[in-house]
Structure 1
Amino acid sequence: MLPAASVRLGIQSRSFSTTRTRRSSSVDPKAVAEAFLSKFSKGQTFVRKQLLDANQVRLFSLTLNRPYLWPGSSVRPLMTLEEVEPQEGSPLPPAYHLCYFTPAQLPGILGQDGTDASFNPDAPFTRRMWAGGSFHWPGADPNKSRQRGGQALLRVGDTVTEVTRVLSCEPKVIGKTGEPMLVVGVEKEFRNSQDELCVLDRRNWVFKEALDPSKPASLVPKPQELSNEALDESVQGKLWREYNRNEATLLRFSALTFNAHRIHYDKPWATEVEGHRNAVVHGPLNLIAMLDLWRDEVSVYRGVGEGSAQDDEVLYYPQKIEYRATSPVYAGEAYRVMLDEGARDQEAADIRVVSNDGTVCMKGTVTDWAHGN
């Protein structure tokens, strides 16, 4: 059994390169999956505690280009996170817990590509990629804000417990290439100091066969971007926000999540070994962009006033989000996060990350507490 300190949090971006792998036809993927489950899925839990310090989430929010944790709020009158830390007790916005409970391994435990290898299946399935999952906020039920005890939210200054368990490991085959892979499901609970469940984080990791760095990769070609007219048409009836991430943002995000996966900051590795055309934008960075757009629009639509975000009753969390990465997003390439205009009043709202060449890079469905059960 691995020590609790070896549980991994930094999510990795999914790779869709056309690179070569070191094939091991003699290895049975089903046998590797069964051995993995025998090792990790006998009811074991891996437990860690951590203080949610103010400076970490402050730097995280600033890296996301957000000077306030919540729409319409200020840290103190006329002050932003550039000037002061968030106050103790401030609730973390949805998915901002990803800057805590980061990997805690010595360098020798990392894989060749920089990824944490704590939960890897046996060779050759050691190339981990992030595929998707779901977040649930059971403690954010708005009805609880009016009840004794209130909502159960992750808050700055609290000591929180993370409980991790392996749920599944299934052998799969990629339809287009016939390449074998393993899909590992992991669940993380985040409980506050009162032992209330605040966040349930389920994620899926894909494990493919390891790459051979000595063999050159074939680069993923860049599609033609849509015309301005087509881009304008694509956002008709949408609530949307455009991003173009640079390498500095990716480096800061990697540092704050302690994510050493080289595709996010090491361009030679990303292009020459893994076949990407540039550094890859982190999957959770796109996921948070989807959640931030949703909560900003819901807050404005429902009339959150200046400064009122210090009141828990006007903090908007979804009930849950389910999401799946479908294609990489690259540094230096514009993309948009899009939500239907009517989504602010829908029970389940579809949200997308779409590159300016029309490629859908991430799909998500947000379920609202106002309608969800």
Structure 2
Amino acid sequence: MSETNLQDWVGRSATATETADGERATRLATLLGHDGDKAAPLFPLGHWLHFSEDDVPMSELGADGHAALGGFMPPVPLPRRMWAGSDLTFHAPILPGQSIERTTTIESITEKTGSTGPLCFVVLRHEITADGTLATTDGHTIVYREATEAPAGSAAKPPREDSPAPEGWDWVKSVRPNEVTLFRYSALTFNSHRIHYDYPYVTEVEGYPGLVTHGPLTATLLLDAFMSTHPEAVVREYRFTAKSPLFVNEQIHLVGRETEPGIHELQAIAPGGKTAIAATVTMKN
């Protein structure tokens, strides 16, 4: 795929330090429809509100709005990127005001060929400490793919029609993220990826039918729905895989069921019944 040996980037590490921000935590709570508490522990995925990859000078952003590749991240010669999934373990809560440090290591880089052409999977391991105590480990997989050619406006389509809530689950919650939801989440995470806010770009350049709902936003909505229906649960592990994209103003069914004691299967289901995100929650004993 490239004359550059991408494997030279495997094993590289970088460390960043911030202060856990209670204000950001309350804004995430507002986004999720809850009352915020600046003194409460961060939502289990609250570290995603910190350490933004796109927090670089404007001159260092790529055409898609993300930080350009070739520095810490390998110069993958494929221009389209998506969050493919995460494997998280929560060791200890993070409290507002604590010093949080994230050490990121590139664990693997795998080049494949799929039905849409070349793909490249980059797996990162984030270790987040709070005041020196390990709080979260986050295995984050990014997938890169080739660009798709889309004549101007040809990909633009209205949101897919709603479908009935699926049966056979212990609980179902339905949500419909709109443009304001996507804007607020991008602002909270300082995510400048244009597929989430630039309609001409996402439809005419990347070939999607509409603004793409952030994968981590959907994963956050899914975990929040689980925690809302299990208020006494303490989550130890959360694993999710993105199966297909979701788009702004589409109805998403968030569903879950217990598969064995302390283990729950979760899904975010797109219009038409297709699984957009498949996830597993394991609770602490």
TM-score by length of 1: 0.70
Q: Going by fraction, where is strand more abundant, 1 or 2?
A: 2
2:78 aligned residue (113, 125, 130): 125
2:46 aligned residue (59, 74, 96): 96
State the 1:245 CA deviation: 0.8
- Alignment RMSD (CA, Å): 2.2
Matched, 1:284 2:216: yes
Identity of counterpart residues, as a percentage? 26
Q: Deviations over 1:157-176 (max 9, x none)?
A: 111111011000011111x2
SS at match of 1:125: coil
Give yes or no for contact 1:124–1:210 (8 Å, CA) kept in 2: no
2:176 aligned residue (244, 257, 270): 244
C-alpha distance in 2, partners of 1:212/1:357? 26
Could you say which residue in structure 2 is the equivalent of 1:360? 275
1:273 aligned residue (197, 205, 208): 205
Give 5+ residue unaligned stretches, structure 1: 1-27, 69-74, 76-85, 140-151, 303-315
Give yes or no for contact 1:52–1:160 (8 Å, CA) kept in 2: yes
Matched, 1:58 2:9: no
State the 1:220 CA deviation: 7.3
State the 1:60 CA deviation: 2.1
Matched, 1:293 2:225: yes
AA partner of residue 330 (structure 1): F
C-alpha distance in 1, partners of 2:18/2:77? 34
AA partner of residue 47 (structure 2): H
Larger Rg: 1
* Mean CA deviation greater in 197-206 or 99-108: 99-108
Distance 1:237 1:365, change over 3 A: closer
C-alpha distance in 2, partners of 1:45/1:122? 16
Give yes or no for contact 2:125–2:137 (8 Å, CA) kept in 1: yes
Give yes or no for contact 1:183–1:206 (8 Å, CA) kept in 2: yes
* Mean CA deviation greater in 271-280 or 249-258: 271-280
Give yes or no for contact 1:94–1:317 (8 Å, CA) kept in 2: no
SS at match of 1:129: strand
Matched, 1:107 2:58: yes
Give 5+ residue unaligned stretches, structure 2: none
C-alpha distance in 1, partners of 2:15/2:240? 25
Could you say which residue in structure 1 is the equivalent of 2:155? 219
Matched, 1:135 2:135: no
Alignment of 1:25-64 (within 5 A): 28=1, 32=4, 35-38=5-8, 40-42=9-11, 44-64=12-32
Distance 1:94 1:283, change over 3 A: same
Could you say which residue in structure 2 is the equivalent of 1:323? 240
State the 1:292 CA deviation: 0.9
C-alpha distance in 1, partners of 2:136/2:130? 9
Alignment coverage as a number of residue pairs: 281
TM-score by length of 2: 0.90
Tell me: higher relative CO, structure 1 or 2? Use CA pairs within 8 A at least 6 residues apart. Answer: 1
AA partner of residue 205 (structure 1): I
